[in-house]
């Protein structure tokens, strides 16, 4: 089985490639990247005018299985990933049961092999049952295929436990992904605290709720000489803390989400619960600071925090609605339309943030078009205009504040291990 992707603009930040080239795939691996490649018996994919990139990685996804299959499952969530241009997703452990032992981690990987269509790398929990009291068996989780640990969905309140977690995980170079939220400051909050929470009369979640814990994680990582990754950074203050820490050599990395890069808290005024997310949509100053963080390299990667929810938990009173945005199927198009095409960031930066960036944070051998690497490839049509139609999502979660937006620049082909999983937004019949 050979594929020859011809005439596309190949962008591979790991190899500093940005040129019109061909990519030859054989037996699920990259065979060659170069100009005017020929292979008589290969299936030809005409990529003229398209961007040919290493497979995109979303290191922060909630696939909800096991336990919450009514919101999403591995079959639907991985199809959403493929449709959105992702070849690898890391799934968070806040399932039921929690991914805090080898049995659950193995179950997820097994389900992904059988029902999934993209690579699924599970993330184990930091603490048993995500209760923040005792450490999970991290060596066992790693053995079972977990690529990181996180209690995402909630913070590790106990600073002492987080310190132990950092020290313990560092023995295995297992990344810690920290959801930073000081709950005594965020409790009951519905949106970002600021001018718009004043106007809309909703209880605010101050930026300080995030920043207090970002500062804590940085101090702990520095004190223990270990590393930490900050999930879904949303405030200017957090970016400032992380930037300063990185400058003095602290091993801290971070991710931002497309929605925090694009939307502000003003949009909450519709009281449409699809705008309700944690951390909340922040102020314009925060959005600008996140973009600056990308431009100066403070931000390592873009991750969706894909949080699918059932219709009933969004179609209700704002205060009663669940937090979260279904993000897999819009992320790439949003970044293309809102940041790349308007020339706020260049296309290499975008590819970096979706490929090498997360791969480096996780320490996985993905995100490149190296010869012999897994043939995970994302092809983007930078000219394609399409409207966000949640009812057509593969994800069970239709909860997106971007519904109805027409975006330019969509993934048009997703190849996982040499197989074309998704073409023009449609999952191939074989899957």
Partner 1 sequence: MTRPFKSVRETGKGAAVDNIAFLADGCKEGFFIAINEGVEMKLEQRKDLLGLRDMSREEMELILDTAVPMKDIIKRDIKKVPTLRGKAMVTVFYENSTRTRTSFEIAGKYLSADTVNLAVSTSSVQKGESLRDTIKTIEVMGFDLMVIRHSMSGTPHYVARNTKMRVINAGDGANEHPTQALLDMFSIKENKGTLENLKVVIVGDILHSRVARSNIYGLSKFGCEIRVVGPATLMPPEVEKLGVKSYYSLDQALKGADVVNVLRIQRERQTTGLFPSLDEYSNLYMLSPQRLLQAKDDVLVLHPGPMNRGVEISSVLADSNTAVINEQVTNGVAVRMALLYLMMGGLKDEIAN
- As annotated, the active-site residues are 305
Residues numbered 255 to 274 that lie near partner 1 (CB under 8 A) are 270-271
For residue 68, the minimal CB distance to partner 1 (Å) is 19
- Contacting residue, 183, 198, 383, 385, with partner 1 by CB under 8 A: 198
Residue 226 or 283 with smaller CB distance to partner 1: 283
Element (H, E) at 170: helix 159-170
Mask 313-332, x = binds partner 1 (CB under 8 A)? --xxxxxx------------
For residue 202, the minimal CB distance to partner 1 (Å) is 5
- Contacting residue, 27, 159, 195, 383, with partner 1 by CB under 8 A: 195
DSSP code per residue over 257-294:
-HHHHH--GGGGGG--GGG--SSPP--HHHHHHHHHHH
Burial code of 189-226, b = ≥16 C-beta within 10 A, e = fewer?
A: bbbbbbebbeebebebbbbebbbbbbbbbbebbbebeb
Residue 44 or 320 with smaller CB distance to partner 1: 320
CA distances from 171 to 111, 175, 225, 230, 377 (A): 29, 10, 12, 19, 33
Of 378, 334, 415, give the one whose Cα is nearest residue 53.
378
- Contacting residue, 23, 25, 202, 215, with partner 1 by CB under 8 A: 202
By CB under 8 A, which span of 2-10, 136-144, 196-204, 405-413 interacts with partner 1? 196-204
Size of the site for partner 1 (CB under 8 A): 21
Which token pair is 365? Answer: 């051998």
For residue 183, the minimal CB distance to partner 1 (Å) is 14
Residue 201 or 249 with smaller CB distance to partner 1: 201
For residue 212, the minimal CB distance to partner 1 (Å) is 17
Interface with partner 1 includes 194 (CB under 8 A)? yes
CA distances from 58 to 263, 353, 363 (A): 20, 10, 14
Residue 200 or 431 with smaller CB distance to partner 1: 200
Which token pair is 127? Answer: 């603490």
For residue 204, the minimal CB distance to partner 1 (Å) is 7
Burial code of 331-352, b = ≥16 C-beta within 10 A, e = fewer?
A: bbbbbbbbbbeeeebebbbbbb
- Contacting residue, 13, 124, 204, 418, with partner 1 by CB under 8 A: 204
Interface with partner 1 includes 200 (CB under 8 A)? yes
CA distances from 43 to 26, 39, 414, 429 (A): 10, 9, 15, 18
Residues numbered 147 to 176 that lie near partner 1 (CB under 8 A) are none
CA distances from 414 to 171, 178, 377, 410 (A): 36, 30, 6, 11
Residues numbered 174 to 193 that lie near partner 1 (CB under 8 A) are 190, 193
Interface with partner 1 includes 310 (CB under 8 A)? no
Is 427 buried (19+), middle (13-18) or exposed (0-12) by CB count in 10 A?
middle
Interface with partner 1 includes 203 (CB under 8 A)? yes
Interface with partner 1 includes 426 (CB under 8 A)? no
Where along the sequence are the contacts to partner 1 (CB under 8 A)?
Answer: 190, 193-195, 197-204, 270-271, 312, 315-320
């Amino acid at each position: 089985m050979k594929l020859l992707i011809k005439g596309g603009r190949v962008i591979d930040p790991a190899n500093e490639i940005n040129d019109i080239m061909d990519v030859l795939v054989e037996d699920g691996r990259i065979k060659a990247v170069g100009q005017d490649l020929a292979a008589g018996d290969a299936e030809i994919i005409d990529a003229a005018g398209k961007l040919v990139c290493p497979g995109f990685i979303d290191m922060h996804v909630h696939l909800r299985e096991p336990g919450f299959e009514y919101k999403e499952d591995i079959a639907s969530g991985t199809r959403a990933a493929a449709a959105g241009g992702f070849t690898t997703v890391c799934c968070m452990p806040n399932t039921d049961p929690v991914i805090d032992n080898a049995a659950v981690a193995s179950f997820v990987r097994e389900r992904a092999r059988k029902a999934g269509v993209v690579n699924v790398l599970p993330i184990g929990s930091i603490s048993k049952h995500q209760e923040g009291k005792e450490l999970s068996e991290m060596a066992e989780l790693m053995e079972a295929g977990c690529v990181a640990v996180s209690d995402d969905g909630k913070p590790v309140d106990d600073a002492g436990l987080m310190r132990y977690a950092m020290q313990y995980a560092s023995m295995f170079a297992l990344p810690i992904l920290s959801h930073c939220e000081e709950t005594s400051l965020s409790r009951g909050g519905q949106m970002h605290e600021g001018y718009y929470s004043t106007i809309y009369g909703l209880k605010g979640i101050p930026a300080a709720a995030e920043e207090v814990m970002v500062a804590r994680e940085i101090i702990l990582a520095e004190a223990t000489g270990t590393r930490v990754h900050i999930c879904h950074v949303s405030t200017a203050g957090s970016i400032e803390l992380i930037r300063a820490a990185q400058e003095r050599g602290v091993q801290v990395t971070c991710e931002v989400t497309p929605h925090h890069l694009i939307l502000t808290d003003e949009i909450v005024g519709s009281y449409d619960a699809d705008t309700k997310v944690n951390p909340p949509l922040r102020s314009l100053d925060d959005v600008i600071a996140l973009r600056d963080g990308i431009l100066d390299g403070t931000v390592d990667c873009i991750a969706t925090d894909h949080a699918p929810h059932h219709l009933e938990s969004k179609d209700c009173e704002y205060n009663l609605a669940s937090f979260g945005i279904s993000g897999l199927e819009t992320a790439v198009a949003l970044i293309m339309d809102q940041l790349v095409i308007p020339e706020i960031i260049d296309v290499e930066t975008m590819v970096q943030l979706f490929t090498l960036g997360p791969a480096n944070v996780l320490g996985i051998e993905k995100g490149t078009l190296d010869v012999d690497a897994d043939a995970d490839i994302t092809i983007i049509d930078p000219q394609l205009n399409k409207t966000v139609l949640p009812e057509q999502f593969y994800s069970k979660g239709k909860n997106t504040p971007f519904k109805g937006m027409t975006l330019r620049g969509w993934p048009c082909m997703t190849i996982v291990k040499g197989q074309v999983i998704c073409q023009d937004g449609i999952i191939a019949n074989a899957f």
